Amino acid sequence: MNAMTLLPRRRRVLAGLLLTAVLLATGCAGLRPAADADPAARAAFDQRADQVAAIDTWRLVARLGLATGEEYWSAQLNWRVDNGGHVLDLAGPMGRGGGRLTLAEAQPAELVTRAGEQFRAEDPDALVAHISGEAIPVSGMIYWVRGLVDPARAHQLDVDADGRPLRIEQSGWTVEYREFEDVNGIAMPVRMDMERDGVELRARIGSWLMEPPQ
């Protein structure tokens, strides 16, 4: 069953107005730093990327909001990574659209829904679409959520003077970073917006836990 809730017209309009208000509020939260084309800024980005990529045990808790036209879907995401293995628990309102996605190196992605159904596929994005009803780019978010680019795919990148990513264009998605916080001395994203072909996905990360490399 499609996890996207089909709302009556009045509720769809209200959801749209609420989403617009949120976007206006976040847009007025403060001016983002300007992109810096200086090679030193890109060198700072690369240095930060090396630090982040070296951490293979981490966890985040985030709220996702996905808008497609008049529809809006939200979910809680609990993402745990241990030595490169990923476990993503996704739950929609009132438990709808929930499931656990497991990613392990050199193995198919595995999805177990809240109803107990099990699915496997090489493409994790397809599995998440099965429970969410819409495109959530997990394969890209493995990198983007940490402020990294997928090194195997072409990309465009804007960074600020401190080497923090401001905008990434990759795999047809545009990722814009709105806010960072210091986690163990590393600037980690806590607000990011992703957009592709009219689909808008917003991630608000409530907490980061990262274990330094051994």
> Which among 60, 59, 88, 62 has a CA at the least distance from the CA of 75?
62
Residues (pLDDT < 50) of the chain are 1-30, 94
CA 167 – CA 128 distance, rounded (Å): 24
Q: What is the DSSP string of 55-104?
A: --EEEEEEEEEEEETTEEEEEEEEEEEETTEEEEEEE-GGGTT-EEEEE-
Own/partner long-range contacts of 67-71 (Cβ < 8 Å, ≥24 apart): 67/19, 67/199, 67/200, 67/202, 68/134, 68/198, 68/199, 68/200, 69/198, 70/7, 70/12, 70/13, 70/15, 70/16, 71/4, 71/5, 71/6, 71/7, 71/12
- Between CA 64 and CA 68, with CA 65 as vertex, the angle to 5 degrees is 140
Average pLDDT, the chain: 83
Residues in the chain: 214
Q: Token pair of 77, please?
A: 């995401």
Residue 21 pLDDT: 39
What local confidence, expressed as pLDDT, does residue 26 receive?
A: 43
Q: pLDDT at position 214, please?
A: 65
Up-side HSE of residue 136: CA atoms within 13 Å toward CB?
Answer: 28
Q: How many Cα atoms within 13 Å fall on the side-chain side of residue 35?
A: 11
Q: What is the pLDDT of residue 32?
A: 63
Q: Which domains, and CATH codes, for the chain? A: 48-210 (2.50.20.10)
DSSP letter string, 136-175: --HHHHHHHTTT---TTS-EEEEE-TTS-EEEEEETTEEE
pLDDT in tens, 99-155: 899 999 889 999 998 888 899 988 898 888 876 677 789 999 999 999 999 999 999
Task: Enumerate residues 6+ apart whose C-beta is below 8 A from 12.
Answer: 70, 71, 72
The Cα 62–Cα 51 span in angstroms is: 22
> Three-class SS of residue 11?
helix
For 187, the enclosing helix (H) or strand (E) is strand 186-196
Handedness of CA 199, 201, 52, 126 (dihedral sign): negative
